[in-house]
Structure 1
Amino acid sequence: MPTIAAYMGAALAEIAGCFSFWAWLRLEKSPLWLVPGVISLALFAWLLTLVDSDAAGRAYAAYGGVYICASLFWLWSVEGVRPDRWDLIGGTVCLVGTAIILLGPRAATVPTT
């Protein structure tokens, strides 16, 4: 699975899973909302393991920018709140950081123990 597909799937799964807890606690929805939420969060964690990276921390760091942009899309599409220019500028900065982490040239590294 290509990295961007894994990241986009993980972002959707994480946001949906977290939103189920938000709905239960903040919107007073049924505790049954937690069942798909827990499944979604497990899917999120599994999808991140599909990212081709030599280190989990690097995969997670790069994922952060994708997550932020996906959260802004959720804000707009699900919650009906249009992101403002500061949201868009911040999201762009985060995606630039993601690109630097993913695409930057690297020397071979030896893990420390």
Structure 2
Amino acid sequence: MSLARSIGLFVLAALAEIGGAWLIWQGWREHRGVLWIAGGIIALGAYGFAASLQEEAHFGRVLAAYGGIFVAGSLAWAMVVDRFRPDRWDFAGAAICLLGVAVIMYAPRG
């Protein structure tokens, strides 16, 4: 699997998981209704499928690496959708997480 495809699958998984959780939040906490919640449940299911398309055979490795994508993606989502302004420590933490993704998923293994 190419690096670009793997990263694309991680981005797709992040959009589905973060978006699904956000839809549920909006439906429940912001009282937007059951259709928002249902959309969130469907999106969360799509996340599971997107993550399973990674070529790596070890679920634990994929999920561990995805954790770093989730951290950075959550901050990006918050910036775009909720107009959240991360501070330098948020950015530093996200960068550390993305470095972890690179080591876990893409380091050469013998």
1:55 maps to a residue whose letter is H
How far the C-alpha of 1:57 sits from its partner, in A, is 0.6
Residues 57-101 of structure 1: CA deviation (Å, up to 9, x unaligned): 100111111111110011100001111111100000000111110
Residue in 2 that maps onto 1:75: 78
How far the C-alpha of 1:35 sits from its partner, in A, is 1.7
Measured in 1, the distance between the counterparts of 2:39 and 2:57 equals 31
Residue in 2 that maps onto 1:3: 6
TM-score after normalising by structure 2? 0.91
Identity of aligned residues (%): 39
Q: Write out the 4+ residue segments of structure 1 that deviate beyond 3 Å after TM superposition.
A: none
Give 5+ residue unaligned stretches, structure 2: none
Residue in 1 that maps onto 2:69: 66
Contact 2:68–2:100 (8 Å) recurs in 1: yes
Measured in 2, the distance between the counterparts of 1:105 and 1:81 equals 36
Q: Does 1:19 align with 2:5?
A: no
Measured in 2, the distance between the counterparts of 1:54 and 1:30 equals 39
Residue in 1 that maps onto 2:55: 52
Give 5+ residue unaligned stretches, structure 1: 108-113
How far the C-alpha of 1:104 sits from its partner, in A, is 2.2
TM-score after normalising by structure 1? 0.89
Residue in 1 that maps onto 2:91: 88
| SS class of match (1:15) | helix
Structure with the larger helix share: 2
Bigger-Rg structure (1/2): 1
How far the C-alpha of 1:25 sits from its partner, in A, is 2.1
